[in-house]
Amino acid sequence: MPIFPPGDLVRDLSLVLDSAVVFYSVLLGAVLFRQWHTHEFRRIVDIRVAWATFFVGMVVNRGAFILADFYYATEPMNTYLTKLGYVGLILALSAFFYAVEVILPYDTKHIFFVAGLFHVFLAIVSPRAWLDLVAVSIALITLPGVMLFMNYTRKNTAGDLKKSIERIIAAFLIGYFGFVFASDMVYYSLGVPLYLIGEVLLVVGITGFGVGLIYNPTLDELDWMQQLVELYIIQEGGLLVYHHEFEENAETDQVLTAAGISGVQSLFQEITRSDTGLNIVSVGEFAILFSHSLTFTSVLISRQPYSVLLAKLKEFTADFETMFGMIIQNFEGTLKEFSSANELVLSTFEPYHSGSSSNR
């Protein structure tokens, strides 16, 4: 990092911006750790822990750089602190990569985690002049690694949740390019203005990214595909139109089940005097999610009442109505007309594996 002379305006602005990154990283990391700790089913390999660890790395990184840039400008302490800044952030990235590669369905062979540990070694043994190259290298690895996670999360959400993920991705990219611009190479080769812009972008990106993570429910719902049990499409009046099993269940009468679900919904509508119908009903260890169109109701039985599942169900209902709305209006009991709905189910609910299915 550049060493600023005392009393320099750029030095003061840089100190304020770096301190803001440290402050917000501490705050956001603490909130994410707290959310993980209070969660009913917390695990060590948890995406909230992974992101909280990332923010801890940012604290170490910018905190060490503040000490190196503003208080310990002489050698060898300056180099020690600079290396500490790189090692802290890369270690946190390595922990993040490990958790992400365990959680995601991709067979990455932990290449990002191994690459992170290798860069920790490089940061420790490399001379001061090579640290910029180490930083560039890990930055090039970090972008596809994080975007792989973001892309997976975005593809597996719908509606407002997908928009939330897109905002998080935008904030991450702002912070990422801010981190790149707030570097020695930019300071010495492209000048002070772009360097300060980079630090501003880093503060904005870190803050927006962290707040987005904290208020996004999908972080607790990445296992939503393991919660799926059954899907019913029920015509107005209780007639079964389509049924899909996500896992093998004991043989049940789907037609009778559909009629029962429709009857329960009608009963609750009568009791509550509501025209909108049910959204979520919990029965024992299962949750029953509803999405309504003009001519039919989609009913998803799952183990958890996840927000992402309700959003997915609404997306599926809209697509199903587009494909089969006219057929349902004139439906006379011939289920073969809906056999092509299997592809829509798989593309919406099982994008990475087909699972067991049946329709009747």
38 or 252, greater pLDDT: 38
Tokens 């593309």 correspond to 347
Evaluated on CA atoms 42, 43, 47, 51, the torsion sign reads positive
Alpha carbon distances (Å) from 358 to 74, 90, 118, 245: 71, 47, 48, 6
Is the pLDDT at 134 greater than 60? The verdict is yes
Mean of pLDDT values over 87-108 = 86
The answer to whether residue 57 scores a pLDDT higher than 60 is: yes
Q: 47-61, 71-85, 238-252 — which is least confidently predicted?
A: 238-252
Among 3-17, 166-180, 204-218, name the one with the lowest average pLDDT. 3-17
Domain boundaries, the chain: 9-220, 224-349
Query: pLDDT > 70: what percent of the chain?
Result: 81
Mean pLDDT confidence for 14-20: 89
- 195 C-beta neighbours (distance < 10 Å), count: 22
Cα separation, 334 vs 342, in Å, equals: 16
Out of 21-30, 54-63, 74-83, pick the least confident: 74-83
DSSP, residue by residue, 73-137: -STTHHHHHHHHHHHHHHHHHHHHHHHHHHHSSS--TTHHHHHHHHHHHHHHHS-GGGHHHHHHH
* pLDDT value of residue 267: 57
Report, as an integer, the average pLDDT of 29-46.
77
Contact status, residue 184 vs residue 2, Cβ threshold 8 Å? yes
**What is the reported pLDDT for 215?**
83
Q: pLDDT class for 20, splitting at 50, 70, 90?
A: very high
147: tokens are: 């975007």
Phi and psi, residue 208, nearest 5°: -65, -40
| 3-state SS, residue 307 | helix
The stretch 58-84 carries a mean pLDDT of 87
- Using the predicted structure, report yes or no on whether residue 63 has a pLDDT greater than 70: yes
Q: Which two tokens stand for residue 55?
A: 């923010």
Strand 280-283 and strand 240-245: the pairing is unpaired
pLDDT tens-digit readout, 142-187: 988 888 888 888 777 766 777 888 888 899 999 999 988 888 788 7
Residue 347 to residue 343: CA distance in whole angstroms: 6
| Fold category of 224-349 in CATH | Beta-Lactamase (3.30.450)
The CATH classification number of 9-220 equals: 1.20.1070
Q: Which of 176-185, 243-252, 267-276, 348-357 shows the highest mean pLDDT?
A: 176-185
Q: Of 78-82, 110-114, 208-212, 278-282, give the lowest mean pLDDT range.
A: 278-282
Residue 128 confidence (pLDDT) above 70: yes
> Is 292's pLDDT higher than 90?
no
With a threshold of 0.75, does the pTM exceed it? Answer: no
